[in-house]
Amino acid sequence: MTMDHSKITELSAKHPKLNVSYTYGTAGFRTKADVLDSVIFRVGLLAVLRSKKHAGKVIGVMITASHNPAQDNGVKLVEPMGEMLAQSWEQYATELANASSDDALIAALQNVVEKEQIDLSNEAVVIVGRDTRPSGEALVAALTDGVQALGGKITDYGLTTTPQLHYLTRCLNTQGTPDAYGEPSEQGYYRKLAEAFKRIVSGKPKLSTIYVDAANGIGAPALHKLAKVLTDDLLSVQVVNDDTATPTKLNHQSGADFVKVNQKKPEGFDLKPGMRCASLDGDADRIVFWYADNAGTFKLLDGDKIATLAAEFIMGLVRKAKVPNINVGLVQTAYANGSATAYVKDTLKVPVVFTPTGVKHLHHAAEEFDVGAYFEANGHGTVLFSQQAIKAFHSTTGKTAEETEALEILKALTDLINQTVGDALSDLLMVEAILTSQGRSLADWDSAYSDLPSRLEKVKVQNRLNFEAIKADTELAKPEGLQQKINQQVAKFKHGRSFVRPSGTEDVVRVYAEADTQENADLLANIVCGLVYDQYGGVGERPAKFKKVDQQGNIIA
Ligand code: 16G
Ligand code: MG
């Protein structure tokens, strides 16, 4: 069987390539929505090939730009078991997106078919979901053309959160098998989570209301629906920032990214001591928690705090249930707070593995453990259970009431926690289930360890690809000399740590700094930003707060 070149050409003509160059990066393709039409069409073509490569298994496509502003959009491919696209295929995605003519496009497709030895007579099935961005619908139409140009079938699931689309993909591919993951529908997703949550919290006193900032995105309607299925007696949720009808409000002064980066509450909250709050991002795959302490000071519980809460709780259950040979591990990135890493290693005595930024890296590292918790500080993460662990939980019989209860909770957690990708709704219920079980407040959870003050900045540079991060993003191999200069500055600060890496989602380099006080963390960040801007190709207006450093490393302004 061969590809129908005339059909590809005919449909491709509806989606002309613009004079823009595209890269399938950490978060798939992500840029201004108005330059994405041809890219999404071509992703449709690639999704068909990926499905054929997997002998007709369903491939997921999610159209979202997460926490980016409303005018952006993007696309990510999802593998049959719900993971992110295999890294070896990212290059094909980039090649297809940049093919400058129909002939080049067909040649690029042919190249994938040959290199991957794809049997074109296989079926191809693609599903698509999108977030609430106004550009989403037209992009789904472009994707549909791409899928049909190669003879694939496509089902549009409409508005979904990113993790729901991952869930649906896995459910469809495992339906009717011993690995069946759940009912492949949005309601099936809510029912699965609600039922698992109930198994953990029933009979325990309900916590006070949790106020969830949904960033005016898809998480808002999803959470409203989940709350309905959960019923009031299990969890009291109030959804704030749920205006999805006003596109400009999406992620505006709200959402997990806003709260984490600015370390302050989002719009729409009259924050009082004792209130329990959380923020989702625009596609509901991140969550952070926050509250005001008795003095009214804003306090953030980020991905690191979620990871340590989960790891500690699950480890305790495994011990109580006396399930043998279960190793628990935690995966972090360079953005993990130094205190979090120390707490995990020294207090919890759980091994920590570091990977570069980006879920695909963390996810695979977590799969190496029986119970692998991975969280980025920004709130994206989940806990993975190996098949062996799940089997062990089911085949172990508790000898005491305590053992039996621990086993029941472990089993429920394997259903409650999304096994495909970090999921804000699932993580919300996981945290609430743990806190309910422990009868614990946010402040008490927070007291496990104190974060070192930190600062995250970004610098616009001529070419961020001149910056090459190594050692799980903790150091730079390029540009020449910069790492030594950073080291020289870091050495001057107590508990100092700083690293620079090129962003995978924005045309900037990111600068992270940590130190003993907020003032020092800010100062270190501004010194490193100044170094990058002044000596390594900064562009645009120079922020006044960036420090100037002479060749000896002394601050001169
Ligand atoms: C994307 C990644 C996230 C990462 C972030 C880094 C996924 C699903 N998301 O949002 O894991 O933390 O990019 O962004 O992989 P940056 O490269 O711009 O700093
Ligand atoms: Mg997101």
CATH code matching the domain that covers 5-159, chosen among 3.40.190.10, 3.40.50.300, 3.30.70.1400, 3.40.120.10: 3.40.120.10
Is 504 marked as a binding-site residue? yes
504 CB under 6 A from ligand 1? yes
Residue 499's SS3 state is strand
In the numeric block, the tokens 């497709």 are attached to: 109
Query: Under a CB-based contact definition with an 8 Å cutoff, are residues 508 and 461 in contact?
Result: yes
Q: List the domain boundaries for the chain.
A: 5-159, 187-301, 303-424+441-446, 454-535
Burial of 270 (0-12, 13-18, 19+ CB in 10 A): exposed
Q: What length is written for the chain?
A: 557
Q: What is the pLDDT of residues 120-169, one digit of tens each?
A: 999 999 999 999 999 999 999 999 999 999 999 999 999 999 999 999 99
pLDDT of residue 505: 83
CA gap 372, 331 in Å, rounded: 7
Backbone angles phi, psi at 235, to 5 degrees: -150, 135
Nearest CA to ligand 1 atom 3: 358
* Cα 453 to middle of ligand 2, angstroms: 24
The answer to whether the CB of 505 is under 6 A from ligand 1 is: yes
401 is in an annotated binding site: no
Label the pairing between strands 287-292 and 328-332. unpaired
In this structure, the residue with its CA closest to atom 4 of ligand 1 is 358
Both tokens assigned to 68: 């980016």
For the chain, first and last CA: distance in Å? 68
Please give the distance, rounded to the nearest whole angstrom, from the Cα atom of residue 44 to the centre of ligand 1.
23
Active site residue 437: no
Q: What's the CA-to-centroid distance between 503 and ligand 1, angstroms? A: 8
Helix (H/G/I), strand (E/B), else coil: 163:
helix
Specify the residue with its C-alpha closest to ligand 1, atom 12.
Answer: 358
3-state secondary structure labels for all residues of 451-474: CCCEEEEEECECCHHHCEEECCCC
Nearest ligand, CA 505: 1
d(CA 552, CA 556): 10
Question: In the structure encoding, which two tokens stand for residue 135, read together?
Answer: 């550009």
Give the per-residue pLDDT at 27: 87
Q: How far is the CA of 3 from the centre of ligand 1 (A)?
A: 35
DSSP 35: G
**Topology of the domain covering 303-424+441-446:** Alpha-D-Glucose-1,6-Bisphosphate; Chain A, domain 3 (3.40.120)
Distance from C-alpha of 250 to C-alpha of 192, rounded to nearest angstrom: 28
Atom of ligand 1 nearest to the CA of 376: 12
187-301 maps to which CATH number?
3.40.120.10
Question: Do the annotations mark residue 501 as ligand-binding?
Answer: yes
Residues with pLDDT less than 70, the chain: none
Please report, as a single letter, which amino acid is at residue 458. Answer: K
What is the reported pLDDT for 232? 77
Ligand nearest to the CA of 218: 2
497 is in an annotated binding site: no
Report the C-alpha gap between 207 and 210 in whole angstroms.
Answer: 8
Taking the centre of ligand 1 as the mean of its atom positions, its distance from the CA of residue 258, in whole angstroms, is 14
Catalytic residue among 12, 38, 51, 66: 66
Peptide bond into 205 cis (omega under 30): no
Q: At residue 370, what is the residue type?
A: D
**Dihedral pair phi/psi, residue 545, rounded to 5°:** -75, -20
Nearest CA to ligand 1 atom 11: 358
Q: Are 396 and 253 in contact (CB under 8 A)?
A: no
Binding site membership of 251 for ligand 1 (Cβ less than 6 Å): no
Q: What is the DSSP letter of 70?
A: T
The amino acid occupying position 65 is A
pLDDT value of position 407: 98
Point out the ligand nearest to the CA of residue 377.
1
The domain made up of 454-535 has a fold known as: TATA-Binding Protein (3.30.310)
Supply the residue whose CA is at minimum distance from atom 2 of ligand 1.
358
Q: Relative to the CA of 504, which ligand 1 atom is closest?
A: 17
Say if residue 503 carries a ligand binding annotation.
yes
Q: Pairing state of beta strands 276-280 and 210-213?
A: parallel
Alpha-carbon distance 451 to 260, whole Å? 13
pTM of the predicted model as reported, rounded to 2 decimal places: 0.95
pLDDT of 80 reads: 98
| C-alpha 26 to ligand 1 mean position (Å) | 6
The reply to whether 510 sits in an annotated binding site is yes
**The two domains 187-301 and 454-535 share their CATH topology (first three levels equal):** no
